[in-house]
Amino acid sequence: MPKVTTSDLNEAQYRAVFHRGSPLLVLAGAGSGKTRVITERIAALVERDVPDDAITSVTFTNKAAREMRERLASRLGERAKRLRICTFHALGLAIVREDAHLVGCKTNLSIFAGAEQRSCMRSVLQDMKLPSDNDQVDRLISRVSMLKNGMLDGADGAGDGALTRIRERYDALLRKMNAVDFDDLMVLPIQMLSEHDGIRARWQARTRHFLVDEYQDSSRVQYELVRLLVPDNGNLTVVGDDDQSIYGWRGAEVKNLFQLERDYPTLTVIRLEENYRSTGMILNAANSLIANNSERLGKTLRSNLGEGKSVRVWESPNPEEEGERIAGDIRTQRAVSGPSVSTNVTHSGMNASGGLKWDDFAVLYRASYQSRPIEMALRAANIPYHVSGGLSFFDRAEIQDTLAYLRLITNFADDLAFMRAISKPRRGIGDKALGDIANFAQQHRCSLLEACLDEKLDHRLSHTLREFGDMIVGLEHMFIHGEPDDAFDALMDRSLLIAAIENESADEKESERRLGNVHELRRWWLTHAEQDGSLADFLQKVFLLADREDDDPSGQVRLMTVHAAKGLEFAQVYVVGMEDGSFPHRSAIEENRMEEERRLMYVAMTRARFRLTLSRARVRSRFGQKEKTAPSPFLKEPDQETLWWVDRDKDSEEAQEEVVDSMAAMLARLEAAAQAK
């Protein structure tokens, strides 16, 4: 096993990797190599012969956990597979599953999100004779989530404790179906660890070395879970950046970083301030902006890439011209950096012999609606682009339908899965028949599937319903005892899902695309089954994929919100909508949340490696009316020596460089056209 290589660790990174003897907070600035530090620290623990089962590392997204596992696999080989590297929710699921009976569940529990949660909440509200329209359902799901996470009390303006009663009915319905939601994956482990000393001792042994990445994104309940797992003098390592805490709207509390020093009195703090991503001008602008926040532990990033170019500030007449300007600049920058230009100097950090690729560019915005004029301009310029945040693979109807069958096969109590499965295709079972079987199940205190198999079921309903029930039981047997591929293929054949997809599709192309999605799900199942994983394990893994991952965006300009860009980096970044009321957002100004908005701006700026452009439109439409805009205060706060207001200073040296760039781009296009002839 290779030992940790220290030659390319800077002093602060080295101290963080090999620290011993007290809880540790690593304040890791943007681009400072925090992922390397946390993975090398885990590797160092393994190389000290710390037992694999005593090391647990958690982060917030499946993508981040996967990246950490991949890095450790390249460092440690097979031994890395035995380490517990997961998300907070996956850890919570593991705790719940091991002693599920204590919270009224079985180990093969379902995880409800999205449509399943809405169906449960609607059922609860209807039983309580309360309004159950879509807006009310979504509002109450959100408020129950906030209640579970300790973000508000149970009074909701509908009478004292009304929200608490709704939550109790909602939770009871979940347990009846042997299900939990994502909030339960934090709340239930806390309950179990608090009430059962044996369970807490067992998991404290498994987290004897507990490492938390992206700690600034932790919520109140997640910190409570950390406190239960790691005693005051325990081996806790948290890596985070108070300047990048941008998820307050979903429960993240930057105060958790400050609370550490009070709860862990021997805490050691190490700051990673050497930045390997961005040039000096970009970092100086970002540093001077974030210095205006009072709620921070404080650090100053230093670049090791040289000074670089000033941060450009653009002012365009309207969003349409803003988009056209960005599209034109992307084409110019690509042409200037491309191999057609006969020069050996580097431009924007790229060697001219290599050139910039489309996916070296990103356009960031505060709200997703701001992408439309950018998209139109990129289309007109024939520039390939990818908008992050499209429809998730798991939200597609054909995937939801297939998963409903799989959920029902592994959990007969999942009535929501039953209702979706039996209606895809409908099988001639009408609403009255479904209502009758629901009444039968309620009277006999059983699930809908169990009702289908009950000999006492009304003979008028029994034949078709028993056929369906027998099919599910037969498929369960195949998934347990048969070959994984045969079981999946039998499901698609016997359920008539393939025929349903073909019949519902508008044309052959759509049918092929939708069936291709199902085949992709089949491939994932077979890969999982090859590792002796059960169907219940597979489904729980699928439903833990809460961080919706986009299709492959390679080879395209990236368009995304600043929130979606966190953790990414690009050679050239354009931040649009730099107007007061847009960024910072109007609601944040009204609600006195400027510090989080400033952190969001800091994240946007530090995504750029070599060239950062901040752009505003002087007129923008609001509620169908054109309004004049004021510049964002975030254009005034950075050190003005780091900014180049392009439209105000057209005679500067940098403006002349821009002219040269444009001429070079034109020459490159002419040369390419000549070669094409």
Residue the block writes with tokens 């059962």: 196
617 Cα distance to chain centroid: 30
Q: What angle do CA 463, 464, 467 make, to 5 degrees?
A: 85
Residues 454, 457, 462: CA angle, nearest 5 degrees: 95
**What does the block give as tokens for 507?**
């044309």
Helix (H, G, I), strand (E, B) or coil at 125: helix
CA distances from 89 to 225, 429, 546 (A): 11, 38, 9
Beta strands in 292-435 (DSSP E): 302-303, 311-316, 346-347, 350-351, 361-365, 385-387
Cα(479)–Cα(410) distance, rounded to whole angstroms? 9
d(CA 181, CA 147): 13
Q: Is the Cβ–Cβ distance between 406 and 535 less than 8 Å?
A: yes
525 exposed, middle or buried (CB, 10 Å; 0-12, 13-18, 19+)? buried
Contacts with 18 (C-beta within 8 Å, 6 or more apart), sequence order: 41, 44
Residue 463 tokens, joined: 């034949």
Which of the 8 DSSP states describes residue 581?
Answer: B
Query: CA 238, CA 389: separation in Å to the nearest integer?
Result: 29
57 pairs with which residues across the strands? 85, 211
User: How far is residue 666's CA from residue 658's CA, in Å, rounded to a whole number?
Assistant: 12
Please list the active-site residues. 34-35, 213-214, 244, 607
Write the single-letter amino acid at 417: A
Residues in Cβ contact with 523 at an 8 Å cutoff, skipping those fewer than 6 apart: none
Q: Give me 380's structure tokens.
A: 């007109």
**Rounded alpha-carbon distances, angstroms, from residue 424 to 411, 419, 440, 495:** 18, 9, 22, 8
Distance separating alpha carbons of residues 542 and 530, to the nearest angstrom: 16
Q: Which amino acid is at 355?
A: G
Inter-helix orientation angle 372-380/319-337, to 10°: 50
Quickly list H helices, 411-483. Answer: 415-422, 431-443, 448-452, 459-481
